[in-house]
Amino acid sequence: MALWIHWWNAIVLLRPAFSRTRTFMWFVTSVAGLSIRSDHLGVTSIVRALSLDAKYYDNLLDNCHSAGISLTKLSILWTGTVFHLFGEHIKRVNGRPVILADGKKKGKEGKKMPARKSLHQESESNTKPAFIMGHSYQALSVLVTAASTVFSVPLDIKIHEGLIFSNRDKRTLLDKLLELLCSLQLAEPCYLVADAYYSNSKMVKGTLKQGHHLITRAKSNCVALEKAPKRRGKPTRGRPAKYGAKIKLANLFRSARKVSTIPSPLYGEKNVNIRVRTVDLYWETSGEIVRFVLTEHPTRGRWILLCTDLTLDACDIVLLYGLRFKIEVGFKQAEHVIGAYDYHFWMMGMKPLKRRNGNQYLHRESKTYRDAIQRKMHAYHVFMFMGVVSQGLMQYLSACYTDTVMASFGSWLRTIRKGVSPSELIVRTAMQNTFAEFLSVCSNTNNWVIFITERQDRNRATFWGKAA
């Protein structure tokens, strides 16, 4: 029961993002259902998990479409809540938190789902098809350390492809990611870690403008310029040179004298040495002097890492980029444990999409049609944010109340490692086991418990017998 009390004390901090208490209560109900359900069959699984009366299925759907939920306020409040809840567990380097950025693509078969388009997957996994019809997301998360475990706690996720409301809108995915980062209204500057797709002048200038620093991987054919040599002797005619010779970074691996060997700082690696070389060069693409870290790993090959912070040590740059994969682990947990992307909201009045359809241009459609599209997109984002909150609270319980989670687990694991925080799957099982006790003990004191028990079908509830 203690887990649910901590869970409620955390989620109640999001109340100001909702215009009405009833809207907030239905949001909390959906997050609780995502946290304890055993299948990912849409909103119906939430009804089954909480044993709600069947007539409240429409209320859950209406809540996702509700204009009483301000996603902008919710994103800002959730970001502040994450930093408040995790506190000293937030991973910091040079006093800055570490924010991870990445994209994700999820297949969707509905022909009347806005923003659904043909997408190319550049994954190295042979289990994924090269082309899918689905939604394309971009997400941000913050690194959190608990004992020897590192979590990627989600902050926000949005669909950033598929819809063009104005033919004057020239924003790219990079522009939209920078807007997403700005919308979080972080109280302090951070390090933004992203993969090679975001190795771009727009990202460098955009992050520096917001007061943050970018860490990414440069492309293998990257070229930079040396600093201009100092003039000696009498001044000559003409403007002094601003930059020196052009250097192909891949060629710098050849110089053995300037390369140093250090123990690998990568997550989970021991007794492994890597070769690194640090150079500060002018990157003409961005118009800035950046730090390049040439890294040679005995099994993973060569990387060229890029950092806009000229004071950051090479070891820290390699460490932070090596932790970038944690956001992909978070995607996997959100998809397979929580089902954060398994929404099935169709728009009945929408023009059906054809196979291999691209972007949907809406600037010539009526205002009514565009508003209907916006309403459906709002529902998608609300449902995904429910998954963000559900996963974040599970990670909070795992990191800060590890012993309580394991005491409530009540099942079997082949190996339980001390000092390692439990996964989202273990937290979900612990929450399932203690949900009945929470309802019975707090039935007269907690507003949300009163709200949900009044809307349950006791004939279908499987946990009321446990509570007795």
Query: What is the 3 state secondary structure string of the chain?
Result: CHHHHHHHHHHHHHHHHECCHHHHHHHHHHHHHHHHCCCCCCHHHHHHHHCECHHHHHHHHHHHHCCCECHHHHHHHHHHHHHHHHHHHECEECCEEEEEEEEEEEECCCCCCCCCEEEECCCCCCCCCCEEEEEEEEEEEEEEEEECEEEEEEEEEEECCCEECCCCCCCCHHHHHHHHHHHCCCCCCCEEECCHHHCCHHHHHHHHHCCCEEEEECCCCCEEEEECCCCCCCCCCCCCCCEEEEEEHHHHHHCCCCCEEEECCCCCCCCCEEEEEEEEEEECCCCEEEEEEEEEECCCEEEEEEECCCCCCHHHHHHHHHHHHHHHHHHHHHHHHHCCCCCCCCCCCCCCCCCCCCCEECCCCCHHHHHHHHHHHHHHHHHHHHHHHHHHHHHHHHHHCHHHHHHHHCCCCCCCCCCECCCHHHHHHHHHHHHHHHHHHCCCCCHHHHHHHCCECCCCCCCHHHHC
**Average pLDDT in the 208-228 region?**
89
User: Residue 158 is encoded by which pair of tokens?
Assistant: 């949005």
Q: Which residue has the higher pLDDT, 225 or 62?
A: 62
**pLDDT value at residue 213:** 95
Distance of CA 51 to the CA centre of its chain: 30
Residue 109 has pLDDT above 90, yes or no: no
Which of 2, 26, 9, 18 has the alpha carbon at shortest distance from 455? 26
Is the torsion defined by CA of 84, 88, 89, 92 positive or negative? positive
For the residues 11-39, what does the mean pLDDT come to?
95
Report the percent of the chain where pLDDT is more than 90. Answer: 59
- Nearest CA to 285 among 306, 313, 314? 306
Indicate whether 444 pLDDT > 90: no
Say which range, 28-32, 282-286, 415-419, has the weakest mean pLDDT: 415-419
Which of 335, 288, 330, 390 minimizes the C-alpha distance to 100?
330
Give how far Cα 346 sits from Cα of 31, 111, 112, 326, Å.
21, 8, 6, 32
Q: What is the pLDDT of residue 283?
A: 87
Q: Roughly what angle, to the nearest 10 degrees, separates helices 2-11 and 424-441?
A: 100
Predicted local confidence at residue 22, as pLDDT: 96
**Can you tell me the distance from the alpha carbon of 309 to that of 338, in angstroms, rounded to the nearest whole number?**
36
Tally Cβ neighbours within 10 Å of residue 440.
16
Let me know: does 294 contact 256? Beta carbons within 8 Å: no
Q: pTM here?
A: 0.92
The band of 216, judged by pLDDT with boundaries at 50, 70 and 90, is very high
Phi, psi dihedral angles at 32 (to 5 degrees) = -65, -40
CA distances from 404 to 213, 306, 360, 400, 414 (A): 38, 42, 49, 9, 19
User: What CA–CA distance (Å, rounded) separates 143 from 231?
Assistant: 46
Residue 401 pLDDT grade (very low, low, confident, very high; cuts 50, 70, 90): very high
* Residue 128 binned pLDDT confidence (cut-offs 50, 70, 90): confident
Q: Pick the residue with more confidence: 228 or 350?
A: 350
The pLDDT-based confidence of 468 (bands split at 50, 70, 90) is very low
Q: How confident is the model at residue 110 (pLDDT cuts 50, 70, 90)?
A: confident
Distance CA 116, CA 432 (A): 34
* Weakest mean pLDDT among 12-26, 89-103, 227-241, 333-347: 227-241
Identity of the highest mean pLDDT range in 129-133, 278-282, 353-357: 278-282
Q: What is the C-alpha to C-alpha distance for residues 63 and 386, in angstroms, rounded to an integer?
A: 11
Phi, psi at 94, each rounded to 5°: 55, 30
Q: What is the mean pLDDT of the chain?
A: 89
Mean pLDDT within 373-386:
96
pLDDT computed for residue 463 by the predictor = 58
| pLDDT at residue 126 in the model | 66
Could you give the percent of the chain with pLDDT greater than 70? Answer: 96
Which of 121, 119, 154 minimizes the C-alpha distance to 139? 154
Task: Assess whether pLDDT exceeds 60 at residue 117.
Answer: yes
